[in-house]
A and B are shown apart, each in its own frame.
Chain A
Amino acid sequence: MSAPAIRCDGLCRWYGEVQGLSGITLEIGAGVAGLLGPNGSGKSTFMRLATGLISPNRGWVEVFGKRMDRPDRYEVFRRVGYAVGEDTHFESERAVDFLRMLAMLGGAGSEQAKDLADRALDRVVLTDRADTKLSGMSKGMRQRVKLAQALLFEPELLLLDEPLNGMDPVSRRSTLDLVRAWGASGRTVVFASHVLHEVEAVTERVVLLHHGRLLAEGLLAEIRELVDLRPRRVRLEGVGLAAMAAAALAEGIASGVTTHPSGAVHLETRQLPALLERLATSGASGAIHSMEIDDADLETLFALLLEESV
């Protein structure tokens, strides 16, 4: 049986007194895995450990069965593409030269490197910017160049650290499509982000990190269910809302109502889908002018999971 793309056990990393990652044990196999966590949660530390750029203080990490704290780790990079979280830093280079240089570092000859660079640029729709220096590109374009360099050798494992930062909506969509396609082809993508809906857009499988600890791991839907058990707030503006709210309360689909002097009504519910159905029926006549639902965003999710873990 072939080794999983990434396997780690008791992985710990400190930066002086600061805990970067603490006791992470997990396996990541084929498909897209979302690495989700707020800034400083340990996502980039995990990526660096998985690429051998930093060494663990304790524990170990393997990529395709190869320990990444050993000198012979470089062999595994034939199968790995990594887009670092930071900017590209080779500002004086033209995009094509930058990619060509990295392709040659991967062992390609000069001509082959040029072909690989052209193909990678084409993949991220930057062919027309091949001769532009990285310093002359927008952040979104540089992000695409970063993605291109990770794709140079069609890697079996793609590690993307906040790949959508600074990208325009069109680039975001094409990047998300690419990530989904990569995962669907049987290869592995680790997609790190601090934005929940970005991760939701590419995968259902997530690893949640918080303050360097593994908070949860599994299907996003299962984690979402936990979130959905928490009372949610729906803010309504319109006419005749008091009667509608009273009816929802009586039917048991709302657990609390607050009426504001402005006429706005806040409903609290543990049955959000049922409430939304009810409101859709009642509000079809135009009684509801606006509706806002507090999103189960990352903070909510983490707050909930932290409560659960206490």
Chain B
Amino acid sequence: MKLLVWLVPGLLLAQGMGSGPRTVRKAGGPKVAAPAFSLREVAAGLTAKHRYGDGTSRYILSMTGNGVAAVDYDNDGAVDLLFADGVAPVLYRNTGAGKFVDVSARSGLAPRQWGQGVCAGDFDNDGWTDVLLTYYGASRLYRNERGQFRDVTAGAGMPVEGKRFSTGCAFVDYDRDGRLDLVVANYVAFDLEKAAKPGATKYCTWLGLEVFCGPRGFPTDRPMLYRNEGGGKFRDVTEQALQGVAGLHYGLGVVVSDFDGDGWTDIYIACDSTPGILLRNNRDGTLTDIAVEAGAAYGANGEELGSMGVAAVDVDGDGRMDLVKTNFIDETPSLYRNLGDWFFVDATEETGLGSDATAVGWGLGVVDWDRDGRPDLVMANGHIYPELGAAQKQTKSLYWNGGGVFATVRTGAPMASRGLAVGDLDGDGMEEIVVTSLGAAPVVYRVEAKRGNGLGLRLEGTKSNRSAIGARVRVTVGGKTLTEEVRSGGSYASQHDFAVYFGLGAAAEAERVEVRWPNGETELVGKLAAGALYRVKEGSGVVGKKVW
């Protein structure tokens, strides 16, 4: 355990961190004043407090907390919320305008100990979004049957028993057969029955105190890949499909993205205290870990980072998906800039993302809250040790993107936060941010800022997978092209809503919108006016819209 982790607001705070947005300057460029922005808590009716798997925080199983999915499970057009939880998943139905009612009891989601994360995707292409809930033990695949979930894990051929400590996950059509496959990250190799008790070994003490053990001291593990064989069946293809992935990782957050722009979705897994995993899609049914060669495995000084959350985002508007990660305290968030051809360079420091090392970062969301066409970042933070008392709770981090350089503020009530998902919960055209925290009820936030125009797209695949996971949308406005993708997973063990949003600044319309569908075909949607969420169906263009 590192020194200096137990008293967070040290010199950096004394120097002004957290005091408000500042100016940013790109190398050689003029100073840019960050506009005012703030995080506001929104009353949403989320009352169920997070629960630990066994009611305590004695094990590392509890430290990792839980993820959240922002997903429209009942197809009523409003984004609902599904929370993984240590005791039983909690499903909230959005009754409209961002108000929620707990429908867990009649959801079909079964109580089960040691829940961790959640991801979503319509694996059977029936138009109803299914979910995977990850657990310590065995994860559970739920089929959505017209708004009712049914556990189909056994029938799908996935393990129903075990001792894997699964965390982040994502649906991904890695072989482009139109069916969503599954990638699941695993954290430490852990056996609850044999687990060392707090204080038992040097990995279970901290400043002489007896604390939960790990992750160091536990064996590492590897991610799993399940291929969707059709007919509701999945097959474990980890051995044959994942190349160069030794079982030497503590895997947490998962994101899927097409990093090289070849139309085949790749995968990144954020890992705690071990190198990150970047799985290049070889377009032949296999993926190879090339994180080390690509420069996306380590921190800026070559150190193994304590990475939790992850996002793929084009921070600099060059059309290539960069990588952002949340990390442990005394580290900062990381930014790997994608230079193309599988070559990343750590740009954390020069972009200002390395200005705050006081947070233990977990959930990570991308929201262009001022709709200026440059994606901003929001991070959920919280320390790991309950022995810290109040200091376990930390404020959220907002990073405003001033054109490839970031200005940051720490804001919001301190909590021991973990999962984070974004989605437009109240249907007003701006995404809200949902954050889970240990021992507390989830909180919905929105970023208050002066904003430009925007538009959104919700895609539906026909030949491609119906969730359109892996689709890439390019929006041209003012001669500049913005790029975003439909993704499963992301953040920390969480699922953002599938809709994608673009900031158009002062422009009243996007000059050109095109979609490259997961099967590789590109469809020109054409011009679209700002101020609406468009429903775009593969092969049919715009089939509906909701004006804000």
Do A and B interact? no
Interface, chain A (partner B; CB < 8 A): none
Interface, chain B (partner A; CB < 8 A): none
